[in-house]
Amino acid sequence: MKDRNLAVEHFFDLVDTVLSLVQVSKLTFTLSTVFSSVSFLYAGCRLGKASFLHRLIPPSPSSSPSPSPCLSSTLIAAPILSFQVPSVSAFVSHLNYIMMHVVSTDSGANPTADTNSSNDLCFKDSKQRIKKMFNQIELSVSSYDTAWVAMVPSPTSHRNPCFPACLNWLLDNQLPNGSWGPCRPHPLLIKDTLSSTLACVLALRRWGVGEEHMTKGLRFIESHFCSASDESQLTPIGFDIIFSGMVEYARDLNLNLPLSSTDIDVLFHKRDLQLRRENSKGREAYLAYVSEGIGKHQDWEMVMKYQRKNGSLFNSPSATAATLSHLPNSGCLHYLTALLDKFENAVPTLHPFHVFPRLCMLETVESLGIGQHFREEITSVLDETYRCWLQGEEEIFLDLPTCALAFRILRVNGYDVSSEALAGFAEEHFFNSLGGYLKDLDAVVELFRASQMIIHPNEQLLEKHISWTSHFLKQELSNTSKCAYKHKQNIIQKVNDALEFPHYASLERLVYRRNIVNYDVDDIRMLKSSYSSLSIGNKDFLRLAVEDFNACQSIYREELKQLERWVQEKRLDKLKFARQKLAYCYFSAAATLCSPELSDARLTWAKNGVLTTVVDDFFDVGVLLTNLAYNKVMAYEKMKHRHDLDVSIDCCSEEVEIIYSALDNTISEIGEKAIAWQGRNIKTHVSEIWLDLLRSMLQEAQWSKEKAVPTVDEYMRNGYISFALGPIILPALYFVGPRLSEAVVKSGEYSLLFRHVSTCGRLLNDIHSFKRESMEGKLNAVSLHIIHGTNSVTEDHVNQELKHLIEERRRELHRLVLQKNDGIVPRQCKELFWKMSKVLHLFYMKDDGFTSHEMANAVNAVIHEPILVDQL
């Protein structure tokens, strides 16, 4: 204990030293230098501060500039204060991460200092801008919608505009080429620009102002009209109806459009085709939504069925303005008046637009792997969204994407939300809605993802949603969607990812990388006019995500090198019978335990993963035919009961001695390391976990040797333990943050979490390895079901039955993880079981684990290949 106290004293001394050193602007640090120096001190070499300085810093001129503070002491202290003096690896990982983001040096001493300082400043600025965006959602102005609001006559005099400020905005915001349109011009938004420009010209003509503006606008329409029939252009919703309706309105205003009669006939023909489409409630909603294009031919009483509590039609300023122009209504007037009170003289294409973009921001920072920087903002969004959910606000429940996204995010974060809220989006209801009529791919993929959040046994509604949405998405991708969405590759990618990687088989770091690579900083969305928001598409998100991803990845590479040295030191590479799967074992840890400070958890997970693979191979190669395996288990029994153990006598062979020594040393190391996190040595518990595994493997080997055929229940009682997740998951739980008492690790909840994930793993393995193991004469869950079943039981029948059981256990596991109020196991620990379940489902999606070329690519993506910004 005295030595340990001295080591801890030196550890804190090191913190002070590093804090002092980084104040000196001429010093340049590399992560490896800091890593080796910290490890050297912490290992007990008792290196004094002066000697440490001498080794770390090369001689330099005596004349030095004044110190320049670079690193916050609170950042260095964070892992100490938060985790009760964690082990050196956790501290160093956190320190490496901090130095990558924070440390900058004087340009006189380091040629890259200006770049480092600039990157650091950009990193901080990006975070601050994103934090502000959470509180203030900004949506681009729509000249199209502003024009329709400008056309509304005053209730007291139809000769005057009701909202003259909008008219003035049109006069002040015509673009140099004569158009009105998107704030960010795009070559594929010409249809949108044509629609906006014609609407603005009509508004000016309606009130007899801006003659020169109209002339320039008409000139633009004439020179770009060919794009109106260009199928390669992005098309606003209802364009064929609305544009032709505006052409008709221009005639009523005696406005000569520079279009040939042939061009106009083509427009009206397209409109007629749209209007003659199948008659349904979805079509009715669509026609109400594009009311401004139907004009005097519209059934305005029908339209009013879609009025919302805030007075709007579909939260659309243009549809609401068109309705108010033809049918005086206090609700419509109140909505538009409130809109102008908020935005002054120009309006967006959608309002209110508050819940969805904030949820999108939350989803973005989480899916890009930068959520840890915005915990306070995320909590605020969750609480505010839940308040809106409980109050039944229309902004959520009348909009499928918003409702589905809110349901999924709230449920994942442990909020009590009922799936009945999604009942209104059943297949028959969806296709009778505006979104269904438009075949809104974005909305359907959100519902598909939300419907996977099944955690209760009576949620058949979500089962049905999964069925019809998956069918719809696959059909759209294979048929017309490739043309309809060819300019929205991000939507297609989103659908493909949702179908290919269900939530229960998605590993965090792979998700982060995939989302970073596919992130669209210029995400432009289309309704009746295009719109964009910094909350949805933003370079700050991408910049921060790339920086963070690469910083964490460098830590993973260092840890993998450390593990490679450990394998050699423990002589595990000398075991010819054992598969060398270190990279995969570490990948499963790094892909799920992502945070820099979780180094101890990752290393514990990976080391035990390697050892379980070795032990499994030891039993698989037929060593049991001697007494080696039995002796191995007995050796561990002696260790547990503190008997003297003579390795040379009890281990019987070099292979057993290597395995025993590696296990013994690793268990002792884990026990010691856990003291910093748990305040107690957990060696006894880890030993018990390993003994349980060894006994279960021995039982299976004895069944095989004796050619015994256990019942299915006997096999599964033993098999969920022999699947070997115990040594991987359970010790790692001690290193994720919360202190775990004896009561927690002996609780029924703890055991149930482990049983569920292990049962899923055992059955997944047995389904995928059935043919191979049958050829080897081995029994598993599939073969035992066939043996003990009736003559009519087939492999396919058993597989379906077992897959259903896997699904039940997986959903129950997810429920246990997500429940917020019940249970004794901390949420952070419960999530580790769920993350392991994800690893298993990914590993067994196609092959019998560890064999897929795609998995090798995944390892490289998470650990070895940094993301290059200039390639995005």
| pLDDT at position 593 | 96
Tell whether 801 and 745 lie within a shared domain. yes
604: pLDDT strictly greater than 70: yes
| pLDDT at position 641 | 53
Tell whether 369 and 394 lie within a shared domain. yes
- Of 113, 91, 93, 124, which Cα lies nearest the Cα of 26? 113
> CA–CA separation, 838 vs 288, rounded Å?
45
Is residue 568, in this structure, part of any structural domain at all?
no
User: Domain containing 502: what range?
Assistant: 355-543
Could you tell me the two tokens for 56?
Answer: 């770390």
Give pLDDT tens digits for 723-751. 999 999 999 999 999 999 999 999 999 99
Regarding predicted confidence, which is higher, 490 or 76?
Answer: 490
Report the b/e string of 49-85 with b at 16+ CB within 10 A. Answer: eeebeeebeeeeeeeeeeeeebbeeebbebbbeebee
Class of residue 212 by CB neighbours under 10 A (exposed 0-12, middle 13-18, buried 19+): exposed
Query: N- to C-terminal Cα distance for the chain?
Result: 53
328: pLDDT strictly greater than 60: yes
Q: What would the mean pLDDT of 422-426 be, rounded to a whole number?
A: 94
Q: What would the mean pLDDT of 485-491 be, rounded to a whole number?
A: 67
Give pLDDT tens digits for 280-290. 789 999 999 99
Name the domain boundary from 76, 103, 130: 103
Widest CA span of the chain, in angstroms?
106
Name the domain boundary from 74, 103, 132: 103
Tell whether 51 and 178 lie within a shared domain. no
Tell whether 709 and 660 lie within a shared domain. yes
Is residue 705, in this structure, part of any structural domain at all?
yes
Give the CATH number for residue 240.
1.50.10.160
Tell whether 361 and 332 lie within a shared domain. no
> CA–CA separation, 162 vs 150, rounded Å?
7
> CA–CA separation, 227 vs 186, rounded Å?
13
Q: How far does CA 12 lie from the centroid of its chain?
A: 36
- Of 647, 623, 625, 617, which Cα lies nearest the Cα of 635? 647
Tell whether 505 and 410 lie within a shared domain. yes
Tell whether 646 and 678 lie within a shared domain. yes
19: pLDDT strictly greater than 60: no
> CA–CA separation, 751 vs 501, rounded Å?
28
Is residue 90, in this structure, part of any structural domain at all?
yes
Tell whether 488 and 538 lie within a shared domain. yes
- Mean pLDDT lowest among 246-260, 341-355, 803-817, 819-833: 819-833
Band (pLDDT 50/70/90 cuts) for residue 38 is: very low
> 50: which residues sit within 8 A by CB, 6+ positions away?
none
412: pLDDT strictly greater than 60: yes
Q: What is the pTM of this model?
A: 0.85
Give pLDDT tens digits for 215-231. 999 999 999 999 999 98
| pLDDT at position 628 | 52
358 and 333 Cβ atoms separated by less than 8 Å = no
Tell whether 538 and 590 lie within a shared domain. no
Is residue 348, in this structure, part of any structural domain at all?
no
Band (pLDDT 50/70/90 cuts) for residue 122 is: confident
Tell whether 511 and 596 lie within a shared domain. no
Give pLDDT tens digits for 615-648. 988 887 754 444 555 555 555 565 555 444 455 5
Q: Could you please report the per-residue DSSP string of 544-574?
A: HHHHHHHHHHHHHHHHHHHHHHHHHHTTGGG
Q: Is 525 helix (H, G, I), strand (E, B) or coil?
A: strand
Give pLDDT tens digits for 53-92. 333 333 333 333 333 333 333 333 333 333 334 555 555 5
Structural domain count of the chain: 4
| pLDDT at position 870 | 76
pLDDT, the chain, mean: 84
| pLDDT at position 79 | 38
Band (pLDDT 50/70/90 cuts) for residue 97 is: low
40 and 5 Cβ atoms separated by less than 8 Å = no
Could you tell me the two tokens for 837?
Answer: 């379940």
Tell whether 827 and 778 lie within a shared domain. yes
Give the CATH number for residue 653.
1.10.600.10
- Mean pLDDT lowest among 8-22, 113-127, 143-157, 387-401: 8-22
> CA–CA separation, 22 vs 76, rounded Å?
11
Is residue 520, in this structure, part of any structural domain at all?
yes
* β-strand partners of 313: 307, 316
Is residue 309, in this structure, part of any structural domain at all?
yes
Name the domain boundary from 322, 343, 364: 343
| pLDDT at position 488 | 67
- Of 518, 492, 501, 510, which Cα lies nearest the Cα of 449? 501
Give the CATH number for residue 426.
1.50.10.130
Q: What would the mean pLDDT of 691-702 be, rounded to a whole number?
A: 93
850: pLDDT strictly greater than 80: no
| pLDDT at position 137 | 87
Query: Cα torsion at 178, 183, 187, 193 (round to 10°)?
Result: -50
> CA–CA separation, 744 vs 829, rounded Å?
11
Tell whether 766 and 808 lie within a shared domain. yes
Is residue 622, in this structure, part of any structural domain at all?
yes
| Cα distances (Å, whole numbers) of residue 524 to 234, 484, 510 | 10, 16, 25
Is residue 806, in this structure, part of any structural domain at all?
yes
577 and 617 Cβ atoms separated by less than 8 Å = yes
Could you tell me the two tokens for 501?
Answer: 């990687």
Q: Which helix (H) or strand (E) holds 694?
A: helix 683-706
